[in-house]
Structure formats: structure tokens, C-alpha cells
Amino acid sequence: MNGNEMNRPRVLFAILDWGMGHASRSAPLIAHALRQNWEVHIASKGTALAFLQSQFQSPGIVFHKKPGPDIRYARRGNLIKIALQVPAFLSSIKAEEYWTKSLVSRHNITHIVSDNCYGVSHPSVPAALISHQLQLPVPFPLRKLAKAFVIRQARRFQAVWVPDTADFALSGKLAAANTLDHQVAIGVLSRLPLDCEQGKWKRVGMVSGPEPHRSLMEKALKAWILSDNSPGLLIAGRPNGQIEQQDNLTIWPNPTPEELSSALRGAQTVVCRSGYSSLLDLAALGKPAILVPTPGQPEQLQLAAFWKQRWGMAVLTQSDLENGLVPPTTGTIDSYEPNVLASAVLQAFVTH
């Protein structure tokens, strides 16, 4: 190994696998690292790992499957089901710690960027935590305990990066209510380019979320699009799926960033989850949408309410979506230039 190779940064990106949202918002930072010719290691599992493998084919990337819980949801009673899985989640943090120590040693990792993976840090390696959820949306009696938990986990990291504006215009109380000394806003993260032509589809539905709610949403969005004769597009969120055509409905399992940006920009009506990564994409494009929180996910319920209050967005329950009760699009949102500040923060973190 020559001197240049020895001095080359080796950056581990660890990404939470609760859907594709964390993978999607981390993608611009991974792309920046590749442009800098750093050695990039990506660690995740499940759908998130499959998505990232489909997006990044560079020989400069090493993919790893990391430990982590398989969080399961129910059609109803999600809060109870999630609460029963908390012990497994806490245990997974310890498993991540052991796994990280081994990986750092084997690959001489120089820096870590962890998107909500609390256990992926190392006492001898600079590590940054990406999170917009510094105040966990739990019932009032548990808030002090939840705040203490987040602070304790955040202290593992040299920096905490919040993908939001300095005034928390997008995440609201989720980040603003728990300010940390080493917390910094890094602006909007989005993999979507802004210079694409507008697509031809009038209705666009974006499927996301864990099962069984992902499949329930897909079925409902198909029915909604097929109920109208205008061209409609379903973004199915299946990295290994196939393109399908059903009458006026086109189904894209895993579009490119350019294809997705074009489709969203040209749509008259967009229906999507109120997951934070989807909201970041809307903010980058300045595009209003009808928001459908995943049932039993307090974070998405809180974000949907905040965006309805701040930007006037229409909010729809999944039950109403399944019954075809889709309201007109309402609201407007400012557009925010994505990735510029975040890339500068990452560059400074790795090279200074």
C-alpha cells in the first residue's frame, strides 16, 4: 500500500434498516464521499441494504450486513407491539458495538457516519450521528426517560447532524425540543436532482413503510389511480421488482433519482407517507403532497400534524385512503437547496 492509499479516508456509513428512508437520505453523503475518492463502507441490512446496492455500483464501495432488530408491525395495536420489541432493540445496540469494533479493526476505518444506528461508534474513531428525532415522540410520562436515553446515546458521537434548517422548519419539536451541545443543522438531504423535466403522470403515489402497512398502502394507491382515466404512477419501493403496466397505471419498483424527481415535479397530486425522508424530498422540490402517516408510528403522526399546521398540507388516514377518500391537494412549501451544507459539513469532518 503506497502513502496515498494509507492516507486515504476510509469512511463507514451505517444506516438504520426501518424501510428505505434512512438509506435514501444518506445517499447524497455517500455520493459525496465517492466523488472525493474516499474508501466507502456501507453497512445496513434488509431493504435498505438492497436499495443502496442498487444505487451504488462503484468499485470503491464495500457493503456489509450489520446486526439489528427486525422491527415488526401489526395492522392494529402497533404501540403495544413496538413496546414489546424494545428489549430486542436495546440488545441490538450492544451487538452493534461489538460488530463495529471488529469492522473498524479489520478495515482500518478512519471515520464513521451513523444514520440512527446508536451502537455504531468507536472510542478511537471520529463518529457523527445523523438524526432528526432527538425528542422521541413518546407519551408524556416517558419523555424524561426518553430524553435521557437519547442524550446518553448521542454522547457516543463527536457530532450530531440534524437534516433540517437552523429553525427546525421541517422536523419541528422532534429536533428542537432536545438541543445538544454538539448538535448542528446540516440542511435538507435529498437524492433527487432539481433540473429534471416534468413527468407526464397526473397522480403519483409513493408506497413506503413496514408490512403489513406497505402492502395495504400499495393496494389502496392502485385503486385510487385506476379510478381515474388520467396517467398515474405508483412508486412501489421494491428494489428488486419489475416495471408493470395496468391500464392507465404504471408501476415503478425502484426508479432512479432522475425518474422520481421528474415524476414528482410534474404530478398534479402526490400521495405519500409523512416519513421524514419523503418530507425532505418534498422540501427539496418545493412540492406539496397529501400525507398518510403510517398507523401506529407517533413520529409520522407528529410530522403530519406539524406540516399541516406549518405548510397547510392535507393529511389522510390510511383507513380513509383504503376507502378511496382522497382529498384535494392543499398547501405550499418553500423549496430548500439540498445537500450543499451537508456535504460541506461531511468534508470538514473527514478532512480537518
What cell does 250 get?
Answer: 404504471
pLDDT band at residue 6, thresholds of 50, 70 and 90?
A: low
Q: What is the pTM of this model?
A: 0.92
pLDDT in tens, 122-172: 999 999 999 999 988 888 888 898 889 999 999 999 999 999 999 999 999
Do 11 and 41 contact (CB within 8 A), yes or no?
yes
Per-residue model confidence (pLDDT) at position 238 = 84
Q: For residue 41, is pLDDT > 70?
A: yes
**Which is higher by pLDDT, 20 or 317?**
317
How far CA 271 is from CA of 51, 316, 317, 327, in Å, comes to 21, 9, 11, 10
pLDDT in tens, 219-251: 999 999 999 999 999 999 888 889 999 999 999
What cell does 189 get?
Answer: 438531504
Average pLDDT over the chain reads 91
pLDDT band at residue 3, thresholds of 50, 70 and 90?
A: very low
Sign of CA dihedral 176, 21, 324, 82: negative
Q: Which domains does the chain have, with CATH numbers?
A: 3-188+338-351 (3.40.50.2000), 203-322 (3.40.50.2000)
**Which is higher by pLDDT, 101 or 84?**
101
Per-residue model confidence (pLDDT) at position 77 = 47
Task: State what percent of residues in the chain have pLDDT above 90.
Answer: 76
What cell does 98 get?
Answer: 461489538
Write the DSSP symbol of residue 158.
S
What cell does 38 get?
Answer: 474516499
How many Cβ atoms are within 10 Å of 1's Cβ, its own excluded? 7
How far CA 297 is from CA of 25, 115, 274, 318, 329, in Å, comes to 19, 19, 10, 12, 23
**Distance between CA atoms of residues 55 and 101, nearest Å:** 27
What cell does 108 get?
Answer: 482500518
**Averaged pLDDT, 334-352:** 96
Of the candidates 295, 259, 246, 301, which has an alpha carbon nearest to the alpha carbon of residue 276?
301
**Averaged pLDDT, 180-193:** 95
Write down the number of H helices and E strands in the chain.
Answer: 13, 13
Per-residue model confidence (pLDDT) at position 169 = 95
How far CA 59 is from CA of 7, 37, 122, 294, in Å, comes to 19, 11, 26, 37
Per-residue model confidence (pLDDT) at position 320 = 97
Q: For residue 179, is pLDDT > 80?
A: no
What cell does 195 get?
Answer: 433540473
Strand, coil or helix: what is 68?
A: coil
Task: State what percent of residues in the chain have pLDDT above 70.
Answer: 91
